[in-house]
């Protein structure tokens, strides 16, 4: 029987060999994302559910919000799919702003929407997350499910631990997010799992114009020089 070894020791399909090739794929996704976004100007990342229908009030609200950000000089970055992501890309594109879709390959739900003027495809969630965080000057959290919660809490955690610079994290929808924020105060703060100043890491707002103004004001104050 043929001994299918490398240097007489390791089989070609050895686990380490497979993992090494995966590293090249990961590096390739980073390169593609950086090449696509490195010249991007001021931008906001907008997160939210892929399941929100186009006739839902949150869809209309998000479309309007992205359009207002575009008028204030901000591009929009989304996950590139349907629902809230589509609404945000649509609002940005309507105002001729850069409208970026960072699409993820999934066996269900995720199809690229037609309103992203720049589309980048990812297989690895963590590479995609880096692009969301690296190139945005604010993180806007529309109503969503587990994926949205993951993106929101990761952004807050990275700011809290000073792994990324502090930028506005805005939860949009007092009715939707208010119960979660109250639980954070009643449980996490009360049980000393977080400090009181951690509550300043995010805002809970409803009005699109106030949301945009919060981001604009923050960056006026925090511009270098």
Q: What is the pLDDT of residue 106?
A: 74
| Cα–Cα dist 152/133, whole Å | 11
Q: Which residues contact 194 (CB under 8 A, 6 or more apart)?
A: 184, 188
Q: How many residues in total does the chain contain? A: 225
Q: What is the pLDDT of residue 223?
A: 76
Tell the residue number behind the tokens 């631990």, with chain if given.
Answer: 161
Q: What is the pLDDT of residue 4?
A: 47
Please tell me the pTM assigned to this model.
0.88
Token pair for 50: 């892929």
Q: What is the pLDDT of residue 19?
A: 76
Rounding to the nearest 10 degrees, give the CA dihedral for residues 183, 189, 192, 196: 160
CA-nearest of 111, 102, 98, 137 to 30 is 102
The ranges assigned to domains in the chain are 15-217
Q: For residues 161-185, b (16+ Cβ closer than 10 Å) or e, as one string?
A: eeeeeebbbbbbbeebbeeeeeebe
Quickly name the fold that domain 15-217 has.
Rossmann fold (3.40.50)
Q: What is the pLDDT of residue 22?
A: 84
> Cα angle vertex 138, ends 134, 140, to 5°?
115
Q: For residues 28-53, b (16+ Cβ closer than 10 Å) or e, as one string?
A: ebeeebeebbeeeebbbbbbbbbebe
Q: What is the pLDDT of residue 222?
A: 86
CA-nearest of 142, 75, 87, 91 to 113 is 87
- Please report, in tens digits, the pLDDT of each residue of the chain (225 residues total): 444 444 455 454 555 666 778 888 899 999 999 999 999 999 999 999 999 999 999 999 999 999 999 999 999 999 999 999 999 999 999 999 999 999 988 776 568 899 999 999 999 999 999 999 999 999 999 999 999 999 999 999 999 999 999 999 999 999 999 999 999 999 999 999 999 999 999 999 999 999 999 999 999 998 765
Q: What is the pLDDT of residue 21?
A: 82
């Amino acid at each position: 029987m043929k001994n299918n070894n490398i240097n007489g020791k390791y089989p070609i399909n050895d686990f380490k060999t497979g993992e090494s090739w995966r590293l090249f794929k990961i590096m390739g996704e980073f390169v593609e994302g950086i090449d696509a976004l490195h010249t991007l100007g001021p931008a906001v990342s907008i997160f939210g559910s892929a399941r929100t229908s186009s006739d839902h009030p949150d869809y209309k609200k998000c479309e309007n919000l992205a359009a207002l950000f575009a008028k204030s000089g901000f591009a929009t970055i989304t996950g590139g799919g349907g629902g809230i992501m589509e609404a945000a890309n649509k609002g940005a594109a309507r105002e001729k702003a850069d409208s970026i879709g960072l699409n993820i390959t999934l066996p269900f739900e995720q199809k690229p929407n037609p309103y992203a003027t720049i589309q980048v495809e990812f297989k690895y969630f963590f590479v995609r997350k880096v692009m969301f965080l690296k190139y945005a000057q604010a993180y806007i959290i529309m109503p969503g499910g587990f994926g949205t919660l993951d993106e929101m809490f990761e952004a807050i955690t990275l700011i809290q631990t000073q792994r990324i610079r502090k930028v506005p994290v805005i939860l949009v929808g007092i009715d939707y997010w208010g119960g979660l924020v109250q639980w954070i105060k009643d449980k996490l703060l009360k049980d000393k799992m977080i400090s009181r100043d951690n509550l300043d890491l995010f805002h809970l707002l409803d009005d699109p114009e106030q949301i945009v103004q919060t981001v604009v004001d923050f960056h006026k104050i925090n511009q270098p020089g």
